[in-house]
Amino acid sequence: MKNLNKYIDHTLLKPQAQQKDIEALCKEAKNHDFFAVCVNPHWVKLASSLLEGSDVAVCTVVGFPLGATLSTVKAFETRMCVDNGATEIDMVINIGAAKNGDWDLVQDDIATVVEAASGRLVKVILETCLLSPEEIKKASQAAMKAKAQYVKTSTGFSHEGATLEAVKIMKETVGDHLSVKASGGIRNYEDAIKMIEAGADRLGTSSGIAIVSSQ
Distances (CA, A) of 26 to 23, 43, 49, 153: 5, 11, 10, 24
13: number of Cβ within 10 Å: 20
Residues 6+ apart with CB under 8 A from 5: 32, 33, 34, 35, 208, 212
CA 171: distance to chain centroid?
Answer: 15
Helix axes 164-174, 133-145, angle to 10 degrees: 40
Q: Are 154 and 127 in contact (CB under 8 A)?
A: yes
Q: Which of 9, 90, 109, 191 is catalytic?
A: 90
Q: Which of 109, 152, 171, 191 is catalytic?
A: 152
Catalytic: 171? no
Catalytic: 108? no
Catalytic: 102? no
Q: Which of 74, 123, 138, 181 is catalytic?
A: 181
> Catalytic positions, please?
90, 152, 181
